Amino acid sequence: MKISVCGKGGCGKSTLVTLLAKELAAMGKRVLVIDTDESNYGLHKQLGVELPEDFTAYFGGKQKVLGDMMMSNFTHQFFATTWGIDDIPASCSVEKDNIILMSSGKIHEANEGCACPMGTLMTQFIDHLTLGPDEYALIDMEAGIEHFGRGTNNGTDLVLMVVDPSFESLRLTGKIKELSESIDKPIRFVLNKVTPEIRQLMRNQVCDDTAIIAELPADGDLMTAGLIGAELDGGDGALKEAIRQLAVSLEASRDQFKDSFIADLA
């Protein structure tokens, strides 16, 4: 199952991707984590691995990819066939404990150009990615909704939006639901940084509270780990339990989500 994890900047996308990847791996799943966020450098730290070489480098680098796109009037296909996790070159992935991390690429220098080549490459890659029954792909999207404009969610099975306690985040739930439904993708909300005082207020402000699949508590240790760039383990309290329940419900509904994807293709 290919899951897009999206939401506004700082809502907790990379944190959720990391904790969910670790939980699914502990359940015996093989998890591909796809870092498509060109601006942030934190995900590999949270996973406790080195940042792999840009996937875009494997295709000749950003300028080459852009050239291929322009020469073909933006119709160039970078993938002739479907790809499995084992087809990802070792040079652009790192593996630890059944979690494989790959990264589309980062913005390295001022004036190097926009991130569109990386975005196009990853959109096509996700489209061509084929997973086995015990494999998951978790896609850490860039903040905001540009990835919907690019079509990066088209090849996924489920959109998971992380919602933090802010007006912008809660307002975005309506737009992301609308965008997901317009491409026939199921959408679920993960409330994050929840405290007992604001829990009900958050639920009331989400555009559709029946689509809330998990509530992750605000967690002091997680905040400290995020501050110093430490590897995350989720602790052994309420946060860990919420992640465990999320992983279990995703696994239990995978046929439902996959079916909706197959129905799209039919």
Ligand X SMILES: Nc1ncnc2c1ncn2[C@@H]1O[C@H](COP(=O)(O)OP(=O)(O)O)[C@@H](O)[C@H]1O
Positions that interact with Mg ion (CB under 5 A): 13-14, 40
CA 224 to chain centre: 22
DSSP category for residue 230: P
Residue 35 CB, nearest approach to Mg ion (Å) = 8
Which of the listed partners (Mg ion, ligand X, none) does 12 bind, with a CB threshold of 5 to 8 Å by partner kind?
Answer: ligand X
Give the residue with the Cβ less far from Mg ion, 85 or 139.
139
Taking the least distance from each CB to ligand X, the nearer of 65 and 161 is: 161
Least separation in angstroms between CB 22 and Mg ion: 16
DSSP track, 118-187: HHHHHHHHHHHB---TTEEEEEEPPSSSHHHHHTTTTT-SEEEEEE-SSHHHHHHHHHHHHHHHHTT--E
**Min CB(32)–ligand X separation in Å:** 18
Q: Answer left, alpha or beta for residue 53, where phi above 0 means left and psi between -120 and 50 means alpha.
A: beta
Minimum CB distance to Mg ion smaller for 14 or for 124: 14
Which of Mg ion, ligand X, none does residue 161 bind (CB under 5 to 8 Å by kind)? Answer: none
Residue reference for tokens 């306690």: 165
C-alpha angle 256/265/104, rounded to 5°?
Answer: 85
Pick 44 or 68: Cβ nearer ligand X: 44
Could you tell which of ligand X, Mg ion, none binds residue 192, using a CB distance below 5 to 8 A set by kind? ligand X
48 interacts with, out of Mg ion, ligand X, none, CB within 5 to 8 A per kind: none
DSSP letter for 218, please: P
The least CB distance from residue 232 to Mg ion, in Å, is 12
Return all residues near 241 (Cβ < 8 A) that are at least 6 apart: none
Nearer to Mg ion, 13 or 45 (CB): 13
**Residue sitting closest to ligand X (CB):** 226
Minimum CB–partner distance for residue 20 and ligand X (Å) = 12
The least CB distance from residue 262 to ligand X, in Å, is 30
Which residue in this structure is represented by tokens 């904790």?
Answer: 19
DSSP run (H or E) holding 3: strand 2-6
Residue type, 212: I
Residues that bind ligand X (CB under 6 A): 7, 9-15, 42, 192-193, 216, 218-219, 222-223, 226
DSSP code at position 236: T
Residue 182 dihedral angles phi and psi, to the nearest 5°: -65, -20
90 touches which of Mg ion, ligand X, none (CB within 5 to 8 A by kind)? Answer: none
**213 token code pair:** 């699949």
Q: What does 10 bind: Mg ion, ligand X, none (CB cut-off 5 to 8 Å by kind)?
A: ligand X
Given the complex with ligand X, which of 61 and 144 has the nearer CB atom? 144
